[in-house]
Chains A and B, each alone.
Chain A
Amino acid sequence: MVKETKNIICIGCPMGCPLTVEIEDGKIKSITGYTCKRGEEYAKKEVTNPRRTVTSIVPVVAGELDMVSVKTKTDIPKNKIKDCMLALKNLKVDAPIDIGDVIIENVCETGVPIIATKAVKRR
């Protein structure tokens, strides 16, 4: 039996309740420290499947701006953030670019594309 305790801080509201999640063999055994329903839900999601939206920039060739801002279209698993940043490294895109244009189809096998969040006209 593998026991693990995770301490996280709830982001549901400014209270920032310190939550403790006990995990046994990959399953949540108990959640303590929350003071509302949202805290419990947050703890479950944060422990079993933490996800984040990643945002960054990519250099633009022949654009009116030098950089275009980009994001993962939806959130991706938290442990893929670093790989996602590496995938964006050394990448360049050609202007023109529109908001929503796909920059990388399926970043790091997450099934999530990276899209532009700014329009850049051709210089």
Chain B
Amino acid sequence: MINHDIVIIGGGPAGLAAAISCYENGNQDIIILERDNSLGGILNQCIHNGFGLHTFKEELTGPEYAARYVAKVQSLGIDYRLNTMVIDISKDKVVSSINETDGLMQIQAKAIILTMGCRERSRGALNIPGYRPAGIFSAGTAQRYVNIEGYMPGRQIVILGSGDIGLIMARRLTLEGALVKMVCEIMPYSGGLKRNIVQCLDDYNIPLRLNHTVTKIFGKERVTGVMVSEVDAFRQPIPSTEEYVECDTLLLSVGLIPENELSRKAEVAINQKTQGPEVDESLSTSIPGIFAAGNVLHVHDLVDYVSMEAALAGKNAVKYVQGLLKTGLSIVIESKNGVRYTVPGTINPDNAEDITVVRFRTSDVYRDAYLSVYLDDERVMHLKKRILTPGEMEQIVIPKKWFAERPNLKKITIMVEKE
């Protein structure tokens, strides 16, 4: 058994930022375990620009953003293992992993930071009838083929789902000479950023069909076409609206799910809304000493926020190892009326920083509504919002002084209000 103070599972943007933060907050006994053959995670295949506006005040591509963090990790001499698959985490914080050189490696950690990222929802989760021909890809898989391997997945393409990766791939495949026939979105609004709709679809005259879905896939060896249908208010296909669209490829961009197989093995409590661990203000999970940050916790729109969140997890992992993280009563954050969830879900005032950033998504589109924060029954924040949409993560900032002023505070409620 090897010993390390802090083991970080995953060397993507969250893992890198967490590691740097651990180091800078005074703990140098860190190791990052990464299953791929390089650090940087999914950023390596996100060759488009738009990363880092908040962190570096400039627009970088994914690989450039990753490279800055990788360079920092290397210059600090932080230990990491590539091609190393973590196969188990126990609640006693033993991390088991395998790779070709070390074989089975067991590390006893004092703290663990979960930064495994997320996965794409697959065709199996959608129940679209049809054979299983070649030509059906998740948008991220297609992105890897095109940007890393240099292969085109197809020539005539239909994209189901208007998540950001799907939008980015619509442009990417168009630029590489494919014909992207349409992007279908079952919801009445897109789950992607407005900027991506304009710069990836409108710029290339790719139609976005809202309230539309794919109801059948044709082709036995290879996709030959799909049936596209409009859906009603209950998201049920309307038979009379069926339209056959010829294509050789169907990309799925239908949502991301935090990847928590390992967290479950460690018996970390999972939030049903986010599918990520339940965490407190320190980003500690239900198991003391196991922290989580980034897309494993909840799916983010911007990597900048992933880095910030992970830095906080790193800082608190160091505190935990030093025995400085307090246990005690926590204030519950209740999400209500259109606020789908919050991260964190609880705040222990003893551990709170000067400000606690609470991130969340709304469950619907709201225009000219208010974001309200209640401390028990007292409304302390009432922010006018011209628009709130599930596609864009929101945040509110809770100052520590609120807790000092209210020693008996039990509950914080965050909700959308019409007025």
Contacts and interface: CB of A to CB of B under 8 A. Distances in A.
Interface of A: 8-11, 13-16, 35, 52-57, 59, 65-67, 69, 71, 78, 81, 85, 99, 117-119
A57 B47 contact: yes
B403 to A, nearest CB: 32
Contact of B148 (A54, A65, A78): A65
Contact of B64 (A14, A54, A85, A99): A99
B194 A11 contact: yes
The 7 closest A-B pairs by CB, nearest first: A69-B47, A118-B63, A11-B195, A117-B61, A67-B150, A16-B194, A53-B49
Interface of B: 44, 47-49, 59-61, 63-64, 67, 146-150, 175-176, 193-195, 197-199, 202-203, 386-387, 389, 391-392
Contacts of A16: 194, 197
A2 to B, nearest CB: 23
B149 A13 contact: no
A81 B199 CA distance: 12
Given A15-B194, A57-B146, A57-B147, 6 more contacts: A11-B198, A13-B386, A13-B387, A14-B389, A15-B387, A66-B149
Contacts of A85: 175-176
B197 A9 contact: yes
Given A11-B199, A14-B392, A99-B67, A56 B175 contact: yes
A67 B149 contact: yes
A71 B199 contact: no
Most B-side CB within 10 Å, residue of A10, A11, A56, A69: A69
Nearest to B204: A81
B386 A15 contact: yes
A53 B67 contact: no
9 contacts: A10-B194, A11-B195, A15-B386, A53-B49, A67-B149, A69-B63, A118-B47, A118-B63, A118-B67
Contacts of B47: 55-57, 69, 71, 117-118
Nearest to A9: B198
Instruction: Count chain B CB atoms within 10 A of each CB in A9, A52, A71, A118 and give the residue with the most.
Output: A118
Contacts of B63: 69, 99, 117-118
Contacts of A119: 67
A81 B200 CA distance: 12
Contact of A55 (B61, B150, B386): B61
A118 B44 contact: yes
Nearest to B50: A53
B391 A14 contact: yes
Contact of B194 (A13, A56, A59, A118): A13
Contact of A67 (B147, B197, B199, B386): B147
A85 B193 CA distance: 24
A14 B147 CA distance: 28
A8 B124 CA distance: 37
* Residue picked from B64, B202, B387, B389, most chain A C-beta under 10 Å: B64
Contacts of A67: 147-150
Nearest to B61: A117
A81 B61 CA distance: 17
B199 A52 contact: yes
Contacts of A65: 148
